[in-house]
Amino acid sequence: MQIDGARFLKDLHDLRAIGASGIAKGVVRPAYSAADIAAREWLADRMRDAGLDVRFDPAGNLWGIAKGKSLLVGSHSDTQPEGGWLDGALGVVMGLELARAAQEAGGPAVSVVSFQDEEGRFGVTTGSAIWSGSLSLDHADTLTDSAGTSFATARAAMSHLIGDFVDPAQFSGFVECHIEQGPWLDEAGQSIGVVTDIVGIRDMRVTFEGEQNHAGTTPMHRRRDAFQALSAFNTALNDRLRNVVTPQSVWTIGHVSLHPGAHSIVPGKVVFSMQWRDGDTARLTRMETVIRETAADVADATGMRLSFSEMLGLEPVAMDAQLRKALAQAAQQIAPDRWREMQSGALHDATNVAALMPAAMMFAPSINGISHTFYEDTHEADLLCGLNVLAAALPALAKAGGGS
């Protein structure tokens, strides 16, 4: 089987041009945006050129399906509101090159997927969660993004493309290649990470409601200022979580909406995202308890009404031992002493797919450990190394799941 590194890099750059931010190699292609849909249509054409059967499912996941039992390779092509060019795209385009080379060589059979809304405009890895059955389409339709748009409204933008769900039984296993999005491979000068397990996540919105009033005439002691409550919550939370977490635990308030958001108004309401991640389910639950109790205590002390949205989440998941071994052996062959086994601190579609079939992941290094920004990048040599490792592993990966 002959993979074509130049063709693979050209596809990555062509895809980057769809929704290019104009800053560094950044991309703005949030799920269901015009750029996201254009990118999916472009990918669909490349899949057709490769001889794959192209399908879009009701969630907007894009499939390029090979005949017979096949190994599924892919990731996602939506991005964060300010995203990099490789987060997700790398795994999809690697799958495309692998499928194309395999078709040209007459096997093994490789299918490609680009899952929809991995970046969680509407929750957490929405498209693969729907396909894997952990989130029903009806339930997903009720979810809203930070601007209040519903999932049902957003996915209607793809209604001219979508068909039925794809049967998972035709796939022998799933392999997702991704950038590491953290510093470890880059710091060690290594080219490949073989993922052992993916951490779990919890995500929700918290609302404090106080009293909106005039910023000039309202004495400080009479205010019920929602921003002050958020500030007190954040300080108290960082302090209280200290007894519960490990150095691997993380928590983030990444989106804050202050109402009404004017210089001269004491804000009466704040809605903010609260997300936390850890490799241990019990610790995720202990963190949840601390978060809810701290919010309640701060609400009491500051005269706020407190409410929580529905909490979404994914459990920590181990990668399949056989597929992992195939990737590790290929890494040792192609990049001896330049690879390691490691945990994934980022979430991935592989978490959901692992509920349906054996699943594994491989990482390429992120320069300076930077991702979820326009400045995310990876050296070309490392991108090609990843492609070569995956190609070398393909016979064993396909065999591991009984593929053809």
Inter-CA distances, 134 with 67, 117, 170, 351, Å: 27, 15, 19, 11
Instruction: Kindly tell me which of 195 and 299 has the beta carbon lying closer to Mn ion.
Output: 195
Give yes or no for residue 97 binding Mn ion (CB under 5 A): no
| Nearest distance in Å: CB 80, Mn ion | 6
Q: Which of 57, 87, 186, 225 binds Mn ion (CB under 5 A)?
A: 87
Among Mn ion, ligand HGY, none, residue 347 binds (CB under 5-8 Å by kind)? ligand HGY
203 near ligand HGY, rule: CB under 6 A: no
The answer to whether residues 201 and 129 touch, using CB atoms and an 8 Å cutoff, is no
User: Which position has the token pair 């890099």?
Assistant: 9
The dihedral formed by the CA atoms of 184, 190, 195 and 199, expressed in degrees to the nearest 10: 10
Task: Spell out, one character per residue from 60 to 99, where the chain touches ligand HGY: x when CB under 6 A holds, - when not.
Answer: ----------------------------------------
Q: Which of residues 97-136 bind ligand HGY (CB under 6 A)?
A: 118-120
Q: Per rule CB under 5 A, is residue 88 in the interface with Mn ion? A: yes
Least separation in angstroms between CB 78 and ligand HGY: 9
Task: Answer yes or no whether residue 346 interacts with ligand HGY by CB under 6 A.
Answer: yes
- Cβ closest to Mn ion, residue 26 vs residue 88: 88
Question: Whose CA is closest to 206, among 116, 299, 83?
Answer: 299
The helix (H) or strand (E) run that includes residue 53 is strand 53-56
Q: How many angstroms from the chain centroid is the CA of residue 103?
A: 28
Query: b/e per residue, 302-311, with b = 16+ CB within 10 A?
Result: bebebeeeee
Cα distance between residue 352 and residue 361, in whole Å? 13
* Residue 253 in contact with ligand HGY, rule: CB under 6 A: no
**Of the candidates 59, 270, 291, 347, which one interacts with ligand HGY according to CB under 6 A?**
347
- Positions that interact with ligand HGY (CB under 6 A): 118-120, 346-347
- Positions that interact with Mn ion (CB under 5 A): 87-88
